[in-house]
Structure 1
Amino acid sequence: MGKLRGIVAKVFFFALLGLLILSFALWGVGDIFRGQQEPDNVAEVGEREISSNAYRQAFMEAYNRQRQMLGEDFSIEMARQIGLDRQVLEQLIADQLLLQHANRMGMVVTEEQIRQVLVSTPAFQDSEGQFDRARFQQLLRSNQMSEQQLINSLRQDIPVNQITAALAAPLQVPDALSEQIRQYREERRIAEYLVIPRSSVEGVETPDEATLRSFYEEHQDTFMAPEYRRVSYIHLSPDDVRDSVGISEERLREEYEARRKELSVPEERQVEQGLFDSREEAQAAYEDIRNGGDFTEVIEDTSGEAPIELGFVRQGDLPESLAENVFSLEEGGVTEPLESSFGWHVIRVNEIQEGEEPSFEAAREQIRNELVEYEAVEATVSLANELDDLLASGAPLEEAAQEMNLELQTIEAIDSEGRNREGQQIEGLPDREHFLSETFSLSEGQESLLIETSEGDSYFVLQVDAVEEPAPRPFEEVRSEVRELWEREQREAQANETAEDILSRAKNGKSLAAIAEEEDLTLRQTEPLLRSAEEPSRELVSQMFGMETDEAAISQGPRGPIIARLTEIVPADAPTGNESAQSELQNELEQSLRNDLETMFRHGLESEYQVTIHEDRLERATPAF
């Protein structure tokens, strides 16, 4: 229900019209953007539907936001693995529940409420914070929305926000409860413990053939080979045609003449400036400099600020009101006062780097490489179109490759991670992630469409020739792995037996220190541990907070079983008066209570308005790559 919180500010606190319009789209208000809704809705909420198009648009917007934060490697498959598709659907359902509940409650919106929303929206205001009707109309036009459509949307939007505002109202957590929770969290525990390292167990007998084969049969799931697929594919890339591209000398010279200005390096000047509020101040500074005053000292004395270093600039980098004068000076020259939107400028040219126009011979190789690259891409696109037409006419992949003299590449066995039977990554796959997604989404004998790679300059089409289902790897192939696992389990079993024996002796009154000396083990003691501690093991820490002083227990750790005795329970310290910490805990508890309230409210709405999710349509609506 935490997703309901994001609705609160959709009307009253948004900064951009785009966010406002997005909220309307997500609530399904009208057909402002979507036009006619698709019949294949992914969910029904009471009397309303969530269309595939609305869901797909919301998913892609959420995915693109995540990708901006996590980087280009964040794929749609990763998004689905972390549940982004479900989060988006839950948000859409929550929005629809609130909208219908507001309608059923008969909540109405007055003209004054609508007016207040419009005049208080920053996107509709001028620089002084006043409602600007011209700006309002311009933004509506740019978003292809009429004023009446916006008002109609607000009539349904405002009641929903009134509900969410009520849910977001401040909650007060009793001080006694807050203090009790603080004591619970800050209580610590100390234990002494022994570790029986699995690696230290000796005397494991060598298993015979029958034992290993029996173990293999019992643990076949551990030694499964993944699903493999035999794949044939054609990859069209500029790399394959680049060497065959020829560029005539005549075309090189024509390109040089057409791009002479673009290839030239323009003149650059290193400049610094004094910036003034008035012409009189700038003129006074200019006169002092012209009469022999030091530029830096005069600027500082006159403006109160050191000169501003602009570094090397080109004429186009400067405002028009400055550029011509600055680039007409000699090196060391100073401009008369010049005005721009920033104020009045006095500018000095410290250094001039002359522009340069490269000769044809100097630019020839660069031009040739760029033309070759362009022609290679064009040739690839042309081949792709031809191949696509041929495949669309029904030609099999192998026949199309032969007819167009293209290489049909074959991968004998590839798993879903792109590995071969030896577990090695198969290199050279076109658009690896997309290629694997297509390979494992098709049935045996099925052929993909011609797909453009994410780089946008190459294409591939593939066919799944055969599917080899997951199966146990032959015993002979995994014999060493079977033996290794058998021996590991034997060592683990012996370590656990030793640990159980030690625990029994400890419970009968023997100290862990004495047992450690007898067994040649190291007795350790924990630091005072909070409930959130991870060491010596998470399992042990969890057990410690359910034990009494001097009680012993056994748990598993990363190196082997752990036998521990709780030696001390350390109560939470007395309140320190740290207002910041107390406020942080109070806010956390209030937020938790608010989340619980929202969850109960959501469950109540779901019981009142039936929610139906069409899983098959949802799967189709979610982008596959």
Structure 2
Amino acid sequence: MADYITRQPSERPVIVVGNITISLKVLQEEFHRDVTRFQAILDQLSVTAEDAYRMGFMQQTIKRLAATAAMDMAARAYSLTVPDELLVRAVSRNPAFQDTAGRFDRTLFRHTVAAQGKSEDVYLRDLRQQLLRVQVSDSVINAVTVPATLLERFKQHRYEKRVAEIVILPITEAPVLHSPDYTILEKFYRENTTIFATPEYRTFSAILLTGSTLAPFVSITEEVIQKACDDARLTLRMPEMRTVEHVLLTNHAHVETILRFIRQGWSLVQAARETMHQVTSLRYLNRAEIEKIEPTLAKAVFTAAMDTVKGPIQSAFGWHILRVVDIIPAGVASLGFMRDQIKEELIAEKTRDVVYELSGKIEDAINGGASLEEAAQQVDLPVQVFTSVDRFGLGKDRQTIANLPLIRAFLQKIFKLQTGIISVMTESKNGSFVVRIDATIPSMIPSLQDIQKDVVNQWKITQNRESARQKAEGVAERLRNSILLRDINDNVHTHAADTSSTTSVLQTFVRNDIDSPLSTTFITRLFGLTVGETAVDETAEVFTVGRLQSIIAPSVDESAIVNMKQEMTRQYAEDIFTQFAAAMGREFNLIINQRMLDGP
């Protein structure tokens, strides 16, 4: 894949639509342009160019280019034109070319177009072509009407409420106090040996091209910053921008755990740390830019209230939980803000250049036979040594290893290498790294005699869970037999050692109710029940039993209905336009040369 991204591009067409051809070189340039446009956000989400390729960015680039070519062919076939008056109106009404009073400013227009690296003629030619495509697409999108039956079904799905009788049974309730005899313990140990295996540990040496090691190589003078500010003075109009605390999760069980901690009053940072996840700061997010990567995430970020945790939001990256910590309203950017942002951009650009240069020198040295230490010495960088690290970045004392870089690909790479092997230079968030495995301590299963106390504790945990499971199934059976909730509550408390932690409640909720203590999986199951039916849910800490008592029909104000209709119309229009673009591709004989895409 990396070979595909970087190999010498061909001038032969990889996409053909009618008499419009797109070469592999143009496709690669557009792919890299797409990735570069979103690089700041992708970096903060720990997504590399190769990750973007695997996640389908290349296919999105292909679809975009093919659809654009199909629109151009359709415009020709239908003999569409853009009058000069329409072109002038589009330019004069563009806020990017208007002064603070909202009037068209020709000087601002010239500077803005020049900043894009275009002449006025090229800009106007491209704009005319864009307007032609808009004519084609609008003829499809503006005719879209969402069927009333579909709107009604969507309203029922989104706003219908459910009332359920809920019994929550903590697994720690009624703990098993006695220890098993040795025969039972030995049987449990043999049946669960993998639970007691020690982690595999690795000792390794690394050259890290990250923030602290690169600092001596990255410096931006005040003169450079001031010149960049002067060049940007005429384009100070800024959209609303937001900064958020954000954690990305790939395991839904961790989502539930973090949300539970937050409901208990923990901060997002504390809750994430408890599940060994890092909260990153996504700074100065622009809605238009992030929508092009993940519209669902963009909507969540720009509708969230200040200082309120929102999530989980599911996307192609995983599940997101976030908190808005700063909002900069749309308007004219202050010189102070502009200077800070420009300085950050210059440092990021300089850092990328330094990483590229040092990576090449290190690779050349190693390929020429130098050791890791010799290669580091040639570029005046330290070799950092990390001793006895497991797959989660913990040492033998189960504490986080100091100074271990917070790079997702780092530990993944380390545990794929053989001892003594030096890795290739690997690109990742905030830089790159090359690593050598110095020693490996394989995973092992200790003898029962060595870990008897741990085995006893694990046996008790298992018995506690099984006891709670049986209690939950008993509660569910009584609910199915129409026993009243208060009677079940009395019965549960009568048989519980710790009644303070058992809760029985009548709860009303909606789909995707992030404020509910119930798991999203359990809520989804309850929405699949008919009145009187029961469901049982199990998490790491509790069993939850629920009986659906009633269904409340949607009661929604008019503004919510209008917003819902607008959202559905947009989504419906996007679907129809996708089908239309595909039909245009068939009409004009769209050809995608997959052999070139899969080539060496």
Decide whether aligned partners of structure 1 residues 540 and 437 sit closer, same or farther in structure 2, where only a CA change above 3 A counts: closer
In structure 2, the partner of 1:588 is 567
Q: Cα distance, 1:566 vs. partner?
A: 3.3
In structure 1, the partner of 2:55 is 86
Inter-partner Cα distance in structure 1 for 2:524 and 2:565: 25
In structure 2, the partner of 1:61 is 37
Q: Cα distance, 1:98 vs. partner?
A: 0.9
Inter-partner Cα distance in structure 2 for 1:616 and 1:167: 31
Decide whether aligned partners of structure 1 residues 51 and 600 sit closer, same or farther in structure 2, where only a CA change above 3 A counts: closer
Q: Cα distance, 1:403 vs. partner?
A: 11
Decide whether aligned partners of structure 1 residues 483 and 109 sit closer, same or farther in structure 2, where only a CA change above 3 A counts: farther
The answer (yes or no) to whether the contact 2:46–2:428 under 8 Å persists in 1 is no
Inter-partner Cα distance in structure 1 for 2:545 and 2:517: 14
Among candidates 394, 402, 412, match of residue 369 of structure 2: 394
Inter-partner Cα distance in structure 2 for 1:130 and 1:175: 43
Among candidates 501, 506, 510, match of residue 530 of structure 1: 510
The answer (yes or no) to whether the contact 1:234–1:462 under 8 Å persists in 2 is yes
1:535-573: per-residue Cα shift (whole Å, max 9, x none)? 444444334434444444444366533333333333344
What's the secondary structure of 1:171's corresponding residue?
coil
In structure 2, the partner of 1:258 is none
Q: Which amino acid aligns with 2:57?
A: V
Decide whether aligned partners of structure 1 residues 182 and 562 sit closer, same or farther in structure 2, where only a CA change above 3 A counts: same
Counting only pairs closer than 5 Å after superposition, residues 31-70 of structure 1 correspond to structure 2 as 38-39=9-10, 48=22, 49=24, 51-65=27-41
Counting only pairs closer than 5 Å after superposition, residues 393-412 of structure 1 correspond to structure 2 as 394-397=369-372, 410-412=385-387
Q: Does 1:499 align with 2:472?
A: yes
Inter-partner Cα distance in structure 2 for 1:41 and 1:224: 55
In structure 2, the partner of 1:95 is 64
Q: Does 1:121 align with 2:91?
A: yes
Inter-partner Cα distance in structure 2 for 1:436 and 1:41: 40
What's the secondary structure of 2:508's corresponding residue?
coil
Q: Cα distance, 1:402 vs. partner?
A: 10
What's the secondary structure of 1:517's corresponding residue?
helix
Q: Does 1:490 align with 2:470?
A: no
Among candidates 378, 385, 389, match of residue 414 of structure 1: 389
- Aligned residue pairs: how many? 429
1:171-214: per-residue Cα shift (whole Å, max 9, x none)? 33455654554355443332334333322234576345565555
Among candidates 144, 160, 170, match of residue 187 of structure 1: 160
Decide whether aligned partners of structure 1 residues 164 and 385 sit closer, same or farther in structure 2, where only a CA change above 3 A counts: closer
Decide whether aligned partners of structure 1 residues 426 and 536 sit closer, same or farther in structure 2, where only a CA change above 3 A counts: closer
Q: Cα distance, 1:445 vs. partner?
A: 3.6
What's the secondary structure of 1:395's corresponding residue?
coil
In structure 1, the partner of 2:527 is 545
The answer (yes or no) to whether the contact 2:469–2:543 under 8 Å persists in 1 is yes
1:7-45: per-residue Cα shift (whole Å, max 9, x none)? xxxxxxxxxxxxxxxxxxxxxxxxxxxxx9724999867
1:266-303: per-residue Cα shift (whole Å, max 9, x none)? xxxxxxxxxxxxxxxxxxxxxxxxxxxxxxxxxxxxxx
The answer (yes or no) to whether the contact 1:42–1:51 under 8 Å persists in 2 is no
In structure 1, the partner of 2:436 is 463
Q: Does 1:556 align with 2:538?
A: yes
Inter-partner Cα distance in structure 1 for 2:116 and 2:58: 25
Counting only pairs closer than 5 Å after superposition, residues 170-569 of structure 1 correspond to structure 2 as 171-173=144-146, 178-179=151-152, 181-203=154-176, 206-208=179-181, 211-212=184-185, 214-216=187-189, 218-219=191-192, 222=195, 228-233=201-206, 394-397=369-372, 410-415=385-390, 417-428=392-403, 439=414, 444-447=419-422, 462-466=435-439, 471=443, 473-474=445-446, 480-508=453-481, 510-520=483-493, 524-533=504-513, 534-556=516-538, 559-569=541-551
In structure 1, the partner of 2:305 is none
The answer (yes or no) to whether the contact 2:46–2:429 under 8 Å persists in 1 is no
Q: Which amino acid aligns with 1:529?
A: F
Among candidates 544, 547, 571, match of residue 553 of structure 2: 571
Inter-partner Cα distance in structure 1 for 2:567 and 2:360: 59
Inter-partner Cα distance in structure 1 for 2:72 and 2:13: 22
Q: Cα distance, 1:59 vs. partner?
A: 0.8
Inter-partner Cα distance in structure 1 for 2:425 and 2:538: 53
Q: Cα distance, 1:496 vs. partner?
A: 2.1
Inter-partner Cα distance in structure 2 for 1:510 and 1:60: 62
Inter-partner Cα distance in structure 1 for 2:149 and 2:208: 69
Inter-partner Cα distance in structure 1 for 2:185 and 2:13: 52
Inter-partner Cα distance in structure 2 for 1:214 and 1:149: 78
Decide whether aligned partners of structure 1 residues 414 and 203 sit closer, same or farther in structure 2, where only a CA change above 3 A counts: closer
Inter-partner Cα distance in structure 1 for 2:89 and 2:530: 65
Inter-partner Cα distance in structure 2 for 1:203 and 1:428: 41
Inter-partner Cα distance in structure 2 for 1:433 and 1:539: 28
Q: Cα distance, 1:583 vs. partner?
A: 1.5
Q: Percent identity?
A: 22
* RMSD between aligned residues: 5.5
Q: Does 1:164 align with 2:143?
A: no
Please identify the structure whose Cα radius of gyration is greater: 1
- For normalisation by structure 1, the TM-score amounts to 0.52
What's the secondary structure of 1:526's corresponding residue?
strand
Q: Cα distance, 1:497 vs. partner?
A: 2.1
Instruction: Give ranges in structure 2 of 5+ residues lacking alignment.
Output: 1-6, 214-357, 495-501
- For normalisation by structure 2, the TM-score amounts to 0.54
Inter-partner Cα distance in structure 2 for 1:466 and 1:42: 50
The answer (yes or no) to whether the contact 1:191–1:566 under 8 Å persists in 2 is yes
Inter-partner Cα distance in structure 2 for 1:424 and 1:400: 31
Decide whether aligned partners of structure 1 residues 551 and 419 sit closer, same or farther in structure 2, where only a CA change above 3 A counts: closer
What's the secondary structure of 1:200's corresponding residue?
coil
Q: Which amino acid aligns with 2:36?
A: M
Inter-partner Cα distance in structure 1 for 2:81 and 2:408: 53
The answer (yes or no) to whether the contact 2:389–2:396 under 8 Å persists in 1 is yes
What's the secondary structure of 2:144's corresponding residue?
coil
Inter-partner Cα distance in structure 2 for 1:614 and 1:216: 54
Inter-partner Cα distance in structure 1 for 2:569 and 2:389: 52
Inter-partner Cα distance in structure 2 for 1:451 and 1:552: 51
Decide whether aligned partners of structure 1 residues 135 and 482 sit closer, same or farther in structure 2, where only a CA change above 3 A counts: same
The answer (yes or no) to whether the contact 2:204–2:387 under 8 Å persists in 1 is yes
In structure 1, the partner of 2:332 is none
What's the secondary structure of 2:507's corresponding residue?
coil
Decide whether aligned partners of structure 1 residues 207 and 472 sit closer, same or farther in structure 2, where only a CA change above 3 A counts: farther
Decide whether aligned partners of structure 1 residues 540 and 146 sit closer, same or farther in structure 2, where only a CA change above 3 A counts: closer
Inter-partner Cα distance in structure 1 for 2:162 and 2:360: 71
Decide whether aligned partners of structure 1 residues 560 and 388 sit closer, same or farther in structure 2, where only a CA change above 3 A counts: closer
Decide whether aligned partners of structure 1 residues 52 and 421 sit closer, same or farther in structure 2, where only a CA change above 3 A counts: farther
1:498-547: per-residue Cα shift (whole Å, max 9, x none)? 33334334444544433433443567332333334434444443344344
Q: Which amino acid aligns with 1:525?
A: V
